[in-house]
Amino acid sequence: MTSKLWDADPDPAPDVPVARPRLPTADDILPYLREIDANRWYSNNGSLNQRFQEALRARIAAGHVVCLANATLGLALALMAQKPAKGSLCMMPSWTFAASAHAAVLAGLVPWLVDVDPNTQQLLPEAAAELLRQAPGKVGAVMPVMPFGGPLGAANWDRFKGDTGLAVAIDAAAAFDTLTPSRVPAVVSLHATKALGIGEGCFIASDDGALIDEIMKGANFGFANSREAAAPALNGKLSEYGAAVGLAALEAWPHTRAAYRRVATGYRRWLGSISGLSLPDGFGERWISSTVTVGLPIGSMDRTLTALMDAGIGVRRWWGGGLHRHAAFEHFPRAPLPVTEMLVATQLGLPCWTDLPDEAISRICSILGEAVTAG
């Protein structure tokens, strides 16, 4: 086995870790736990789940929201609910997290790994329509991904879904701050490392109420209004304890967002003066995320990694070498991936957490500046 820098966290205990999530404290959650004690209702669409869903729905102005166990199951369920033909292809960018492909496989589909647009790092609907003509088999579904939480034109995917009749599920796992609702189901992760973290969980937003009902059925043994399993299904529900953390996390969201924004604007300020480095469009201005991914000049990745690691700075190539390099996915069909390869060679995750000191940000940026200009 060859070891690649993206295979593992190179230094398991850096001085400045790449992520250091902070979720609601025990005191923040306690009032909600007492409610659960009083209700004696622990899962199955309990009152805390209903309130959490309604609060999320109102916040992002979606027609319907359902909370589930995690985004990997959520993506699988969002695909399954649209009933794409078993064994058909699910077009998705190779430039994403492993969960996107696992979800398609869980839904009985075969990931077809395609390239992304260099500016947005996304599969765009126009490119997807073009790719459909060159498909290596029958395409049943498409999974667009919002890279590192960056914004996506959901209305265009809505139109694509209408025009093609294909199943479409948006991997919006990191996009709590940027999601704009449409009829296409969008799956937002509530994992501890995401912007709105509750530990494990996700929500799916869509303006299509019948589709959300179908997803709920798929997440609850195929039961709708009776205890008859109407179709293949699984258990993907979020417990009342998860919803309790979620309600406390939503209360704290203005503070959490402001803290991530401080970090993002800090990086933007320092990195703006270094030529050759780039941050995603609008990051720290129009949107935030729980990760910071900087674009390095081509050919500077290795020496930048070494310089940061030597200084005790945690780094992460969040999406490694692309899906096509994972042993679990390397046999899946793929289109040419030149942009993905460019992103693999240039995109680096830097420390990002709500109380990351300003001093650490300026130090990281000056190390980066020296490393990229050393070439």
**Contact in structure between 101 and 329 (CB atoms under 8 Å):** yes
User: Given the complex with ligand PLP, which of 195 and 335 has the nearer CB atom?
Assistant: 195
| CB closer to ligand PLP out of 97 and 270 | 97
Phi-psi region of 274 (alpha: psi -120 to 50; beta: other; left: phi over 0): beta
Please answer whether residues 23 and 197 qualify as being in contact, where contact means their C-beta atoms are separated by less than 8 angstroms.
Answer: yes
Between 171 and 214, name the residue whose CB sits nearer to ligand PLP. 171
Nearest CA among 251, 245, 237 for reference residue 66: 237
Least Å distance, CB 72 to ligand PLP, is 4
CB 271 within 8 A of CB 257: no
Residue 111: other Cβ atoms inside 10 A:
26
Least CB distance to ligand PLP at residue 180 (A)? 17
Q: Give the shortest CB-189-to-ligand PLP separation in angstroms.
A: 3
- For residue 193, which amino acid is it? T
Nearer to ligand PLP, 53 or 96 (CB): 96
Binding region for ligand PLP (CB under 6 A): 70-72, 96-97, 99-100, 145, 171, 173-174, 189, 191, 202
* Cβ closest to ligand PLP, residue 122 vs residue 182: 122
Q: How far apart are the C-alpha atoms of 243 and 150, rounded to whole Å? A: 25
Cβ atoms of 87 and 105 within 8 Å: the answer is: no
CB 119 within 8 A of CB 147: no
Report the half-sphere exposure of 72 (CA within 13 A, side-chain side). 9
CB of 319 to ligand PLP, least distance (A): 8
- Neighbouring C-alpha atoms within 13 Å toward the C-beta of 279: 25
> For residues 112 and 319, which CB has a smaller minimum distance to ligand PLP in the complex?
319
Q: Closest separation between CB of residue 290 and ligand PLP, Å?
A: 10
Whether 276 contacts 372, CB under 8 Å: yes
Nearest distance in Å: CB 352, ligand PLP: 13
- Residue 93 or 307: the one with the smaller Cβ distance to ligand PLP is 93
Q: Is 283 exposed, middle or buried (0-12, 13-18, 19+ CB in 10 A)?
A: buried
User: Sign (positive/negative) of CA torsion 105, 107, 112, 113?
Assistant: negative
Q: How far is the CB of 163 from ligand PLP (least distance, A)?
A: 25
CB of 202 to ligand PLP, least distance (A): 5
DSSP per residue, 46-107: -HHHHHHHHHHHHHHT-SEEEEES-HHHHHHHHHHTT-PPTT-EEEEESSS-HHHHHHHHHT
In 3D space, the residue among 176, 314, 187, 172 whose CA is nearest the CA of residue 250 turns out to be 176
Burial class of 135 by CB neighbour count within 10 A (0 to 12, 13 to 18, 19+): middle
Using CA atoms, how far apart are residues 81 and 360, in angstroms rounded to an integer?
A: 46
Minimum distance from residue 259 beta carbon to ligand PLP (Å): 20
